[in-house]
Amino acid sequence: MRPAITIDDLAVAALIIDGTRVVAANAAAAAIAGRQLDELEGQRLDDLFVAPDAVSAPWLDDGRRVPSEPSPLEQRLRLRRPLGEEVAVAVAGRSRSGGSHGEVEIVLTLRLLHGGHGDPSGMEVVSTVSHELRSPLTSVKGYTSLLLTRWGRLGDEQKKAMLEQVHHDADRVTRLVNELLDISRLETGHLQLRCQPVSLPGLAASVVAKVALEYPDLECGLDFPDGFPSVMADPDKVEQVLTNLVENAAKYASPTGMQVSGAVNGDTVAVAVADSGAGIPPSDLPHIFTKFYRSDQGRPSGSGLGLWISRGLVEAHGGRLSADSVVDRGSVFRFTLPRDGKRQR
């Protein structure tokens, strides 16, 4: 049973543990742990934290032993995300009486630390973001200067092409800024979903049509069974996830031989975006959902944020996003959503 004031009310990432397992977690903790809430709740602490050491983390030694009050110092630990990725976190524990039988529980607050494996330092983040912002801004500056200084000498077609490029680059900057805002909302648990009935076949068709404007060679089949049910979801967020997956397939795999398909499984729906590209090497696959991870720096530009954010958005709906890939055959990115949105927290 949940305590009266739940950890969902806390602005920070928080877990309640009973000594060996996670009893409850909030969305911000799930985002840090890279897991959906249902999966995080019930996790063994030994599995969640890497080599927990009783000296540095007394609450892991015996959850019922009360840590020093009022608030113990933060401990630096490594948290194990799915697929073996590890991130550095600062963890503070505080005891409270709150279990269903009045037993002592420990509330842990988590703070993501930068600089760990797969978790870039502040300078790396600034450098990635600056680079990603600089290239569209350089192009905006270049084309607008040309338009201003040579307006009378440029033909209408040339002007139109330049304005289209400026328009496109402004969209890139807006998208990157929105991604950064999403990151902070996901990490602090402040993401707000505006759920309403969403038709996924219609949304998928419109996403494919939009991506085709940028990739004119795009050939993407749509395969949704007749009578596909609508789901209670935030249409903007689901569109963002689908756009990221379809764009990635066109950008990193191949714009041809793609397929977006849907399936219904009881009270859950699943959407798969399959490509027939070169696939993702097994050594990269565990890392692609990591913030700022890019498997090949030389490939088309990108921030490495898209999949991390997409997974956070899907999990905020109570769904899951995963990937399978076979080298030389292609990849399938699949996400699930609860049909009635009831697992959304």
Residue 109 CB, shortest distance to ligand ADP, in Å, is 27
Query: CB of 32: closest distance to ligand ADP in angstroms?
Result: 17
Options 9-17, 19-27, 218-226, 275-283: segment touching ligand ADP (CB under 6 A)? 275-283
In the complex with ligand ADP, the residue whose CB is nearer, 13 or 307, is 307
Could you tell me if 279 and 330 are in contact, meaning their C-beta atoms sit under 8 angstroms apart?
Answer: yes
Among 306, 318, 319, 341, binds ligand ADP (CB under 6 A): 306
List CB contacts of 102: < 8 A, sequence separation 6 or more.
none
| CB nearer ligand ADP, residue 2 or residue 299 | 299
Backbone angles phi, psi at 196, to 5 degrees: -155, 165
| Residue with Cβ nearer ligand ADP (12 or 129) | 129
- For ligand ADP, the binding residue among 288, 313, 316, 337 (CB under 6 A) is 288
The residue among 264, 250, 233 whose CA lies nearest residue 343 is: 233
Within positions 314 to 333, which residues make up the interface with ligand ADP, using CB under 6 A?
331
**Contacts of residue 145, Cβ cutoff 8 Å, sequence gap at least 6:** none
Q: Please list, residue by residue across 242-273, b when 16 or more beta carbons sit within 10 angstroms of its beta carbon and e when fewer do.
A: bbbbbbbbbbbbbbeebbbbbeeeeebbbbbb
The distance of closest approach from Cβ of residue 198 to ligand ADP in the complex, given in angstroms and rounded to an integer, is 22
Task: Give the separation between CA 109 and CA 91, rounded to whole angstroms.
Answer: 6
Q: Residue 302 and residue 197: Cα distance in Å, rounded? A: 32
Q: Does 57 bind ligand ADP (CB under 6 A)?
A: no
186 sits near ligand ADP (criterion: CB under 6 A) = no
Question: Which uninterrupted H or E stretch holds 28?
Answer: helix 27-33
Per CB under 6 A, the segment of 7-15, 38-46, 184-192, 303-311 that binds ligand ADP is 303-311
Summarize as ranges the residues that interact with ligand ADP (CB under 6 A).
244, 248-249, 252-253, 275, 277, 280, 288, 293-296, 299, 302-308, 331
